[in-house]
Amino acid sequence: MQTSEIKHARHKQRATWAAIGLIAVFVISGVATLKFYGLTWDEGLGNLFFGERYLFYLTTFRESFVDFKAELPIHNRPLNLFLSPMREFPHEFPPVTDTLSAASMHLLSYTLGWMDAVDAFHVFKIALAGVFLWFLYRFVREEWGATAGLFSVFFLAFFPRFWGDMHFNPKDIPETIWFGLLVMAYYTWLKRQDAGRALLVGALFAAALGTKANAAFAPLILILGLWQVKLPATTWKESVPFWLRDAWQYVLMGVTALSLYVASWPFVYVQNNPVSAVRKYFEFILSQGGRAGGADWSAQPLIHSLTTIPLWMLAFLLIGMAVSVWMMLRKESPKWRLLLVWLVFPIARISMPGMVNFDGIRHYMEYVPAAAILAGIGAQWLAQQVKDLRRRNWALAGIAAGWLVSLVWIGLTLFPHVYIYYSPLIGGVAGARQHFGENEVTDYWASSYRLGMDWLNQNAPEGGLVYVLVADYLVDMTAPLWLRDDLRVIHADDLESLLGQKQPLYVMLLRRPGYWNEQAQYVNQHFEPVHVFAAAGQPVLEIYLVEPQS
């Protein structure tokens, strides 16, 4: 018996060190590749602007920082955030992760000078993801085993759309992380209830909801996944104390969540009525940005979900789901039901009539950690079918090697655009474009403009002009950081005065035709690009050269 316990302890220790190693590789690889990812669509619209304003207000309590129409001295930097087009729409930008990212930006860039401002804003999400992976490992290790925990971390850390998006996604990745921490914290509270854990649950709910409104569905997932309907009494009157025994801790969770949610968002209480301000945000969310959803259930989110999981991981996910269903039917611990609800609910929610989905899976990524856990359980279960310990270790090594080969192949064909990954199940990126359309399968974040500016720095002659036809504000904001000083960014109202210009004009065109104007269509039809940035052979950003005589 003692020998078995010693072996188990050693296995647990080895798995823990391996998990630490994987997380270290994840964080280091994320930081080392920041230079390949630029300022993104929503970040430029307002995430950085509001994050910085809230940071300054919460550290000084000066109301001038909540006057979003005022250009302040803090904007006298190369990265001028006052250029953000949506700076007068604070109700569309929840505060929590943006404020923390702004703190990272000011510490690592403006104070320590370790990296440029955009990278410093981005690095907080990488650090947050690293912390999440550690707690995920510990959670899975204690509930399902060290091997399942290790493979859960391995699958999630390098899941293409998690690893890719965590470089720059200002809300979907952070909300997925806060959401996952909330689920784990609530489960832990259910097992060992006390006020401290209740406070933590409330704080994590505030962080998740203060990053993205999707977190409002967390209570439903927790109720469906964990609550028991069986009562310990035979009459309603006898059951009341059972339901009320934890009521005060639920009140504590609610008060904590509400207090932190409001306190973290200066917009809602500085010169505003908090109720009206929060209502304005949720009215915006419910309007789905003015987009109209379909009248029927949609299969697109499910297809997106299945085809953005690498096939190697998908195989173990299916095994893990089968194991979980079997254990759930045996009426084992509700933790098995929790995983299945956590996996299915976000996909089902976005598939409902009237719901709008775009940009792949990013609007419902809360299911991804559950998928990684289930895949980890699947890997552990399959290895356990091998009774000989040495052969079992070889089986685990084979599973890890298969995943590593998949990742290497994805990196070689897609990097740095791994956040656009689609599996061979749909024909890769090319097949996904045929199925979902070019607007959906492209660099919808416009992160590639940084790559475009780097190419121009190396290839454009002195005094060249740069014209951006989609989301030009991103280049306006970051050109002082990333574009050569002698290259000039121009706009539509400059064109007439430049008809006789002698400098070459470089046009950067994002392959997102739904956002093209007549000029973009003309350039695409009448000129050939001089350089193309592609993902698995599919163009995502093109650079055109318009010679003076043109």
| 206 close to 264: Cβ distance less than 8 angstroms | yes
The b-or-e profile of 49-74 (16+ CB within 10 A means b, else e) is bbbbbbbbbbeeeeeebbebeeeeeb
| 161 close to 365: Cβ distance less than 8 angstroms | yes
Instruction: Choose among 504, 464, 508: nearest CA to 484.
Output: 464
**Which residue type occupies 469?**
L
Q: Give the pTM.
A: 0.95
User: Tokens representing 285?
Assistant: 């969310």
User: Alpha-carbon distance 448 to 471, whole Å?
Assistant: 12
Give one DSSP letter per residue of 387-414, joined into a string: -SHHHHHHHHHHHHHHHHHHHHHHHHHH
Asked whether the CA dihedral 49, 52, 58, 63 is positive or negative, the reply is negative
CA separation (Å) from 516 to 119, 465, 468, 470? 28, 20, 11, 7
Residue pLDDT tens, the chain, 550 long: 467 778 778 888 999 999 999 999 999 999 999 999 999 999 999 999 999 999 999 999 999 999 999 999 999 999 999 999 999 999 999 999 999 999 999 999 999 999 999 999 999 999 999 999 999 999 999 999 999 999 999 999 999 999 999 999 999 999 999 999 999 999 999 999 999 999 999 999 999 999 999 999 999 999 999 987 655 555 556 656 666 778 899 999 999 999 999 999 999 999 899 999 999 999 999 987 778 888 899 999 999 999 999 999 999 999 999 999 999 998 778 999 999 999 999 999 999 999 999 999 999 999 999 999 999 999 999 999 998 889 999 999 999 999 999 999 999 999 999 999 999 999 999 999 999 999 999 999 999 999 999 999 999 999 999 999 999 999 999 999 999 999 999 998 888 777 677 889 999 999 999 999 999 999 999 999 999 999 999 999 999 998 766 5
Instruction: Choose among 132, 196, 121, 193: nearest CA to 159.
Output: 132
Domain boundaries, the chain: 2-61+123-371, 449-546
DSSP class of residue 465 equals E
| 438 close to 509: Cβ distance less than 8 angstroms | no
User: Tokens representing 422?
Assistant: 């689609």
User: Alpha-carbon distance 429 to 441, whole Å?
Assistant: 7
Residue with the two structure tokens 């097992």: 191
| 152 close to 140: Cβ distance less than 8 angstroms | yes
What 3-state DSSP class applies to 293? coil
Cβ-proximal residues to 400 (8 Å cutoff; 6+ apart), any chain: 151, 154
**Which residue type occupies 302?**
L
CA angle 118, 418, 467 (to 5 degrees): 55
| 140 close to 149: Cβ distance less than 8 angstroms | yes
User: Alpha-carbon distance 72 to 64, whole Å?
Assistant: 8
What 3-state DSSP class applies to 40? coil
Cβ-proximal residues to 258 (8 Å cutoff; 6+ apart), any chain: 206
User: Tokens representing 209?
Assistant: 């909801």
